[in-house]
Homo-oligomer: A and B are copies of this chain.
Amino acid sequence: MAMMALVLGDTAELSTDEPVPERAAGEALVRVRVSGVCDTDLQLARGYMGFRGVPGHEFVGDVVAHDDGAWVGKRVVADINAGCGICAECTRFGGHHCGDRTVLGIAGRSGAFAELLAVPARCLVEVPEAVSDDVAVFAEPLAAALHVLDELDTLERAGAERRAVVLGDGKLGQLIARAIASQGVQTTLVGRHAHKLELARAAGVETYLDGALPDARRRAPLVVEATGSEGGLAEALRVVAPRGTVVLKTTVAAELTVDLAPVVIHEVRLVGSRCGDMQRAVETLASGAVDPLPLVEARYPLARGLEALEHAGRRGALKVLIDVSGAAER
C-alpha cells in the first residue's frame, strides 16, 4: 500500500507512493489529521542527525489499527519517544532516554508528514472531544514547555521567587511563556518582534523588546533560553539570578563559544529540556489554560507540504500546520 508523504532524502520531496509503515506487534497504525512543523523538522531537512525518511512529530490522528480493538477510531496524540520498554532508562524515564529508542520523525521511525504512521501503542494519549485538531496538534511542544514548570517548583522549594523570564518570541518561546503564565507565575517574554510580543501580551504575558529588560526583571530565578540563537545562552546567563536555573530548550546545531565562568561564580544550573509528559499537555489543553491557536500562522494541505516547510523556514514564522486528512480524498 502506498500513501502521500513528505520524504527527506538528498532533498525534501513530496511522494505519492511512499509505502505505508508496517505495524509491528504492540504498535498502532494512526491516520494523521493535522501535523505541525517544528524547527527540528527544518534542521532535519538541512541534514541534522542524518535523518532520511518521513519527518514530522507533532500530530493528531485517528487509530486505524491496534492490538486492542477498543482503541480503533479513537483520536490520539503520541509521545514521540519509542523506547524498548524494558531497560533501566525506560523504567525511570518512560522511553525518553532509552539507548535503543526510535523517535517519531526524528530518528529511526517514519513521522507525521504522511497519511499514516506507526507508533507503539503505549505512546498513545487519547484526545478529549472538546479539544479541536488544531489545538491538539500542540500537545507535543506544549508537553516540552510544561516540563519547565518542574524546574520552577524546585526553585520555589529552595526559597526562590515565583517568576520567570523567557528569551525568544518564536513559537516555542511563546508557548513556554503561555504555559508558565497559565500557572499563575509572573512571566516575562523578551523578543525582537513587536507584533509577536503583542500576541504574548494578549495572553497575559508581560513583554519587553530585546535589550529593554528593566533591572527589576533581571536576577530572575528561572530563565528559559528559546531564542535558538548563539547569543541566547550568554544573555540568559546575564539575566538569571545567582543559584538560579537556565533552561535550554533549543538545540543549536552548531558548537557554541560560551564563557561558562558565570555558571560557576553564580552557581547557576543549566538544564537541558527536550520532551515532556503528553498526558499533562492534553489535560492542560482540555482545561483551556493555554490557548495555542493565536500561534497558527498558516496551514497547507499535505500535497503542498514543501511550501509548508518553506513557509516555516521564513525568518520569524510562527506555527505552520499541515492538513493531512484531506490527502486521503485526493
Chain A residues near B (Cβ < 8 Å): 89, 92-93, 96-97, 159, 233, 242-243, 248-253, 255-274
Contact = CB atoms under 8 A, between A and B. Distances in A.
A270 B269 contact: yes
In the A-B complex, the 9 residue pairs with the closest CB atoms: A97-B242, A263-B272, A264-B272, A270-B270, A255-B259, A251-B264, A257-B257, A251-B261, A267-B272
Contacts of A268: 271-272
A42 to B, nearest CB: 15
A90 to B, nearest CB: 11
Nearest to A255: B259
B97 A267 contact: yes
B274 A248 contact: no
Contacts of A255: 257-259
B260 A252 contact: yes
A147 to B, nearest CB: 9
Nearest to A158: B92
Nearest to A265: B274
B271 A248 contact: no
Given A255-B259, A269-B272, 19 more contacts: A89-B242, A92-B159, A92-B243, A96-B267, A97-B242, A97-B266, A97-B267, A248-B264, A251-B261, A252-B261, A256-B259, A260-B270, A265-B272, A267-B272, A267-B273, A268-B271, A269-B269, A269-B271, A270-B271
Nearest to A271: B269
28 contacts: A89-B242, A92-B159, A96-B242, A97-B242, A97-B243, A97-B266, A97-B267, A248-B263, A252-B260, A253-B261, A255-B257, A255-B259, A256-B259, A256-B260, A257-B257, A257-B258, A258-B258, A258-B260, A260-B272, A262-B272, A263-B272, A264-B272, A264-B273, A265-B274, A267-B271, A268-B271, A269-B271, A270-B270
A84 to B, nearest CB: 14
Q: How many copies does the complex hold?
A: 2
A108 to B, nearest CB: 14
Contacts of A258: 255-258, 260
A111 to B, nearest CB: 17
B274 A267 contact: yes
Contacts of A271: 267-270
Contacts of A233: 260
A269 B247 CA distance: 9
Contacts of A272: 260, 262-269
